[in-house]
């Protein structure tokens, strides 16, 4: 069992995060850290976006992104969206994904979010089971995606 804590990402960990993301979307083109530094700084300074990580030794091995959305319904309580959930294949089945999801959910609760939504492009049953074990329900709403690229 890996005992590293779940924490927010640090500014100097962009390269490590991009390496981990290769396991999330292997077909994505590589990004040059120097070219996206300004974009990275905007992400880090965005109070409505949090990237949680678990680091083992010198490598980020699990991550998820929580985006908070201000709202004027539900008593003006915000809601959140979780994206980019990934654990390095060598570290899966160790509870890291559940730990990082639990922390993201706790953070959303601390900010009085009334719900958290996520979409997965995976059709794999074990991925769906993972999200259900984290407390998400798959038949509550219908999701639609409009790809813009």
DSSP line for 40-93 = HHHHHH-TTEEEEEEEETTEEEEEEEEEEE--SSGGG--EEEEEEEEE-GGGTT
* Portion of the chain with pLDDT greater than 70, in percent: 99
Query: Is residue 146 situated within a structural domain?
Result: no
* Residue 147 forms part of a structural domain: no
CATH number of domain containing 24: 3.40.630.30
Residue 67 sits in which domain range? 6-133
Q: Does residue 142 lie in a domain region?
A: no
Q: Is residue 1 part of a domain?
A: no
* Residues 108-135: tens digit of each pLDDT: 999 999 999 999 988 999 999 999 999 9
**Number of domains making up the chain:** 1
> Treating both helix axes as pointing N-terminal to C-terminal, what angle do 125-133 and 96-110 enclose, rounded to 10 degrees?
40
Nearest to 118 by CA among 73, 86, 88, 89: 86
Residue 123 included in any domain: yes
- Provide, for the chain, the percentages of residues in helix, strand and coil under a 3-state DSSP scheme, each rounded to the nearest 5: 35, 25, 45
Of residues 30 and 82, more confidently modeled: 82
Query: What digits encode the pLDDT tens for the residues 18-70?
Result: 999 999 999 999 998 889 999 999 999 999 999 999 999 889 999 999 999 99
Residue 1 pLDDT class (50, 70, 90 cuts): low
Task: Check residue 18 and report its DSSP letter.
Answer: H
Average pLDDT, the chain: 94
pLDDT at residue 2 tops 80: no
**Between 83 and 33, the higher pLDDT residue:** 83
**Within a domain: residue 74?**
yes
105 located within any domain: yes
């Amino acid at each position: 069992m890996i005992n590293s804590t779940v924490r927010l990402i640090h500014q100097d960990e962009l390269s490590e995060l991009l390496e981990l993301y290769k396991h999330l979307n292997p077909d994505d083109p590589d990004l040059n850290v120097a070219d996206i530094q300004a974009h990275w700084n905007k992400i880090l300074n965005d109070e409505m976006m949090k990237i949680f990580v678990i680091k083992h030794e010198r490598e980020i091995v699990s991550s998820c992104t929580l985006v908070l959305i201000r709202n004027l319904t539900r008593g003006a309580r915000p809601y959140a969206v979780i994206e980019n959930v990934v654990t390095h294949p060598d570290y899966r089945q160790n509870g890291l994904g559940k730990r990082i999801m639990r922390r993201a959910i706790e953070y959303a609760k601390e900010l009085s979010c009334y719900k958290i939504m996520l979409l997965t492009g995976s059709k794999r049953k074990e991925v769906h089971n993972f999200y259900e074990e984290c407390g998400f329900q798959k038949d509550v709403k219908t999701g639609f995606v409009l790809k813009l690229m």
